[in-house]
Amino acid sequence: MNTKYLFFLSVILVTLTDSIRCNAQMTEAQIGELLLKIDASIANIKTVVYKIEHDNKLLSKRDTVHITAVCSLYIAPRDIMKAYNIVDGEIIRELESHSYIHRKYDGKRSFLTNRSIDSLNKLTNNFVDSDRRIRQSVVENYSNLLLAEYINKKKPFGRYLPSAGLLGFKEEMFHNIPVYVFTVQFKDEEDVKDNVQKHYVRKSDLLPVAFSSFLRWEGMEQYNYYEVDYLAINPNITPEDFKIAKDETLNAKERYAAFIEKIKK
């Protein structure tokens, strides 16, 4: 079983105790002020390039899917998806072979391709879609890689203001980085149990560096965990860098090699 998942489960067991103990370190007003400062820091991002390590298990699946990806975003508040994006990544499934993925979205078109790592030279179909519903569906399918919990929300942390005093709150080290950790424990429902979300926010610039969620539904478990390494914040990239041609093509071998170089740095 994934070690990050085991760690996350162990954290759930002590969530309520830690919340009571650690909330005493800050007043409700101070936590509320911090939430607004985090929102302001996120809103200051206009363009960003980051590496993301993502683990996901869906309710109906037995295996965990791991993705390492490099993502470039141009924040576009008026666009329905909130950001133009380019994603290059490698997918590792426990029960299948490894794959290279490329995703792109420019507000008018979406582009995607999937290639087996063992056959990057093989000619396969690339898919370009301009239909609004299709391109939206395509992007939503990989939104877990696009910081959707933060970029797609008007006030990603401000929404917790009415219940700031009930948030689990800790200050700790995360990969040797000082962070604030916010835990959201949802009330059990008839079908959904143990529904918990955790946000890890870097103290130095108040940007999210990790997110996790977990729930049980009718005896099945679902979890989502990712870590973010910011490679460039507000670099000089423009909407033109995300443009997709009607006949967009891709040299998968060269693109994959460039992706590997980026994640090695």
Domain holding 27, by residue range, is: 3-264
Secondary structure class of 99 (helix, strand, coil): strand
Phi and psi at residue 192, in whole multiples of 5°?
Answer: -95, 125
Q: How many domains does the chain have?
A: 1
- Domain containing residue 15: CATH number: 2.50.20.20
Secondary structure class of 87 (helix, strand, coil): strand
d(CA 230, CA 72): 10
Confidence grade of residue 94 (pLDDT, cut at 50, 70, 90):
low
pTM for this model (two decimals):
0.86
Instruction: Specify the DSSP class assigned to residue 241.
Output: G
Say what the pLDDT of residue 236 is.
97
Dihedral sign, Cα of residue 202, residue 211, residue 75, residue 152: negative
Neighbours of 239 (CB within 10 A): 12
How much is the average pLDDT of 54-82? 89
Q: pLDDT digits over 188-227, tens only? A: 777 777 788 999 999 999 999 999 998 878 777 888 899 9
